[in-house]
Amino acid sequence: MRAKAGHLLTVLLLPVTLPVLWWVASSRSSTPYYPPLQEILRGFRAVWTREQLAGELVPSLVSLVVGFAVAVAVGVGGGVALGLSDRLRRDVRPLTEFLRAMPVVALIPIALVLLGPGMRMEIALIAFAACWPVLVSTADGVRAADEVMLDTARIFGVPPRRRLMHVVLPGAMPQVMAGARIAVAAAVGTMVVANMVASSAGLGYLVISAQQSFNVIETWAGLLMIGIVGSCMTSAVVLIERFVLRWHRRWRAQDVDT
Amino acid sequence: MTRPSTEPTVIRRKEVAVAGISESREDEFPSTSSETAQQPIGSTIVLEPRHLRVTYGKGSHAVTAIADITFQVRAGEFLSIVGPSGCGKTTLLKSLSGLLRPTSGDVLVNGTRVDTASQGLAMVFQEYTRSLLPWLSVRANVEFPLRGSRRTDGRKAVERRADEALAEVGLHGVGDKYPWQLSGGMQQRVAIARALAFRPTVLLMDEPFASLDAQARSDLEDLLLKVHLETGMTIVFVTHDIDEAVYLGDRVVVLSHRPTEVKASLDVDLPRPRDQIETKTLRRFVELRTEALGLVLAERSTEAPA
């Protein structure tokens, strides 16, 4: 019980102490650029009215979720193909390395030209940025599929499709999920940047237009919301990971024990 | 007691005393093959490698793992295979199971040539932790080869077969656990149950007990003997342990060092059921194991320096 309480304390230590510190440190601030946390929170409630949520937050969330889903689908599909075929991996590697090295921000102008401003472009950019971590780690996971497991399935006459779905993919799942976690950060970042540079709505747009009109409180309020969206998205992926890999954590723990 | 080591010594098998243990479990664990359990070994040849040759690599780098292997496995037979270390036992099993295409020669299963790895054979590997799927429960592991396969009809039948197989290896009530929550011996029981539920033409076993502790090992040897007796399943058991080979088998095939050939085939005319203490103190047991050991050791000493 004490250990549990101790654990809870460490978990809450930073998330509780940092805001408290911020609150205290900023409470007497008189510079307009650095308003007290109390005012930011008041501003947060004022900014995020129902209309604002529908007008700025929802479009961003839709782009984020759809873009991320496309990224995972493309990343897993491509990763499986690359993981299964040594030849394909070798032949495609220069191209994937080139694209991976391309900063997504640099693609915004051309994306604007090709797709025009709006959600379609945002989704495309988010999907592009977020698919690489999933692709690379899925390919690694598929390549590392256990030969003994595969041989066992082959001898039992398990057809290739079923071997892929029931032996290779579950075995690669820890890597797939690790890639997805990294992809969340990439997706959120891309969403904000795309909003800022090339949109007339959304979280990033709200922050940058507030800043441009010297509305510091609103800038802070937007930033806070971006943080909340990011951590919610990460938590969602972690929850999915816990469900999908419920065997894996204990399995690994057991490996360490013995 | 020594035999000429250049060519296979084939001793015709004597009748094995199995008449006393009859039809006790037939209803609980029906055998798929046409012969019923507890019948003495039939005359049908179910598995036959014929002039099997496996060469790895090409040109001057070519290494011949298996030079020429021919033997026959009869329905219901328990065949042990031993040989010096590194003699290509695993290569042989891979060829038998169809995982590896031999450079020349054939493998016949029920008289038909094997060219893919799905001829109704089952394999139990030494590495049980890598052979069982860690994300599936014990029960789901046993059911896995049966699902989505033409060999079975319906969910109910699959579940019943898994239940029977788990009961057969003494694992009632652990179906919902994950394999890695069990001890090594229990995990290998799961692998055996999975093979049993599949009802293979031949059960291939690749040093299945080599990484278990001595206690679990002798328990599983006796479990396997019981399963063999009750199901009449044909078993090919590869091991490096000569005592184990003689204790379990109806026949022991001794392989030479690389490039591998069949050096001898010894009929194990020991009465069944066998017993860890009684059988192993029989004079005949000691003779057989000494003979087999002599053959394997002779192979080791004549091995060409690498």
pLDDT for residue B24:
38
| Cβ A172 vs Cβ A64: under 8 Å | no
| Cβ A204 vs Cβ A196: under 8 Å | yes
Measure the CA–CA gap between B220 and B208, rounded to whole angstroms.
Answer: 9
Residue for token digits 């003779």? B287
Measure the CA–CA gap between B44 and B27, rounded to whole angstroms.
Answer: 24
Q: Which residue has the higher pLDDT, B81 or A257?
A: B81
Strand-pairing partners, residue B69, are B52
How does pLDDT run across A52-65, given as a tens digit for each residue?
888 889 989 999 99
**CB < 8 Å to B133, chain A:** 149, 166-167, 170
The distance of B118 to chain A (nearest Cα, Å) reads 4
The distance of B149 to chain A (nearest Cα, Å) reads 7
Q: Exposed, middle or buried, B78 (CB in 10 Å: 0-12/13-18/19+)?
A: buried
Backbone angles phi, psi at B172, to 5 degrees: -65, 145
Cβ pair A148:B122 closer than 8 A: no
pLDDT for residue B40:
60
Quick one: closest CA in B to A162, which residue? B148
User: Is the predicted pLDDT of residue A199 greater than 80, yes or no?
Assistant: no
The pair of three-digit structure tokens given for residue B59, joined into one six-digit string = 């040109």
- Concatenated DSSP letters of A125-188: HHHHHHHHHHHHHHHHHHHT--HHHHHHHHHTT--HHHHIIIIIHHHHHHHHHHHHHHHHHHHH
CA distances from A201 to A54, A118, A192, A197, B286 (A): 10, 9, 11, 11, 87
Q: How confident is the model at residue A150 (pLDDT cuts 50, 70, 90)?
A: very high
Quick one: closest CA in A to B140, which residue? A166
| Cβ A119 vs Cβ A59: under 8 Å | yes
Ordered per-residue pLDDT tens for chain B, 306 residues: 444 444 444 444 333 333 333 333 334 444 444 333 444 677 788 888 999 899 888 878 888 888 899 999 998 999 999 988 877 888 899 899 888 888 888 888 888 887 776 678 999 999 888 999 999 999 999 999 988 665 556 888 888 889 989 988 889 889 899 999 999 999 999 999 999 999 898 999 999 998 889 889 999 999 999 989 888 899 999 999 999 999 999 999 998 888 888 888 888 888 888 888 888 888 888 888 988 888 888 887 665 554
Residue for token digits 């060409």? B304
CA distances from A96 to A68, A86, A135, A191 (A): 19, 14, 10, 22
Set out the domains of chain B in order of their start, with CATH numbers.
Answer: 1-120+201-306 (3.40.50.300), 131-199 (no CATH)
Cβ pair B123:A155 closer than 8 A: yes
Question: Quick one: three-class SS letters along chain B?
Answer: CCCCCCCCCECCCCCCCCCCCCCCCCCCCCCCCCCCCCCCCCCCEEEEEEEEEEEECCHHHCEEEEEEECCCEECCCEEEEECCCCCCHHHHHHHHHCCCCCCEEEEEECCEECCCCCCCEEEECCCHHHHCCCCCCHHHHHHCCCCCCCCCCCHHHHHHHHHHHHHHCCCCCCCCCCHHHCCHHHHHHHHHHHHHHHCCCEEEEECCCCCCCHHHHHHHHHHHHHHHHHHCCEEEEECCCHHHHHHHCCEEEEECCCCEEEEEEEECCCCCCCCCCHHHHCHHHHHHHHHHHHHHHHHHHHCCCC
SS3 content of chain A, % helix, strand, coil (to 5): 85, 0, 15
Mean of per-residue pLDDT scores for chain A: 89
The pair of three-digit structure tokens given for residue B162, joined into one six-digit string = 């898994």
Q: How confident is the model at residue A258 (pLDDT cuts 50, 70, 90)?
A: very low
Measure the CA–CA gap between A124 and A66, rounded to whole angstroms.
Answer: 9
The distance of A246 to chain B (nearest Cα, Å) reads 8
Residue for token digits 């025009």? A116
pLDDT for residue B20:
38
User: Which sign does the torsion angle of CA A185, A189, A191, A194 carry?
Assistant: negative
How does pLDDT run across A80-116, given as a tens digit for each residue?
999 999 999 999 989 998 998 889 989 999 999 999 8
pLDDT for residue A189:
93
pLDDT for residue A225:
92
Contacts of A176 (CB under 8 A, 6+ apart): A76, A79, A134, A137, A138, A141, A169
Strand-pairing partners, residue B55, are B64
pLDDT for residue A136:
94
Of A151, A157, A247, the CB nearest to B118: A157
Measure the CA–CA gap between A143 and A80, rounded to whole angstroms.
Answer: 8
Residues in chain B: 306
Most confident of A30-34, A139-143, B157-161, B226-230: A139-143
The pair of three-digit structure tokens given for residue B58, joined into one six-digit string = 């090409």
Cβ pair B122:A156 closer than 8 A: yes
pLDDT for residue A165:
93
Residue from A149, A150, A155 whose CB has the most chain B CBs within 10 Å, to mutate = A155
Cβ pair B123:A151 closer than 8 A: yes
Backbone angles phi, psi at B252, to 5 degrees: -120, 120
Q: Is the ipTM of this complex over 0.85?
A: no
Set out the domains of chain A in order of their start, with CATH numbers.
Answer: 38-245 (1.10.3720.10)
Candidates B65, B107, B55, B254; CA nearest to A155 is: B107
pLDDT for residue B140:
93
The pair of three-digit structure tokens given for residue B116, joined into one six-digit string = 């893919």
Cβ pair A151:B120 closer than 8 A: no
Lowest model confidence (mean pLDDT) among A20-29, A37-46, B7-16 = B7-16
Cβ pair B135:A170 closer than 8 A: yes
pLDDT for residue B137:
93
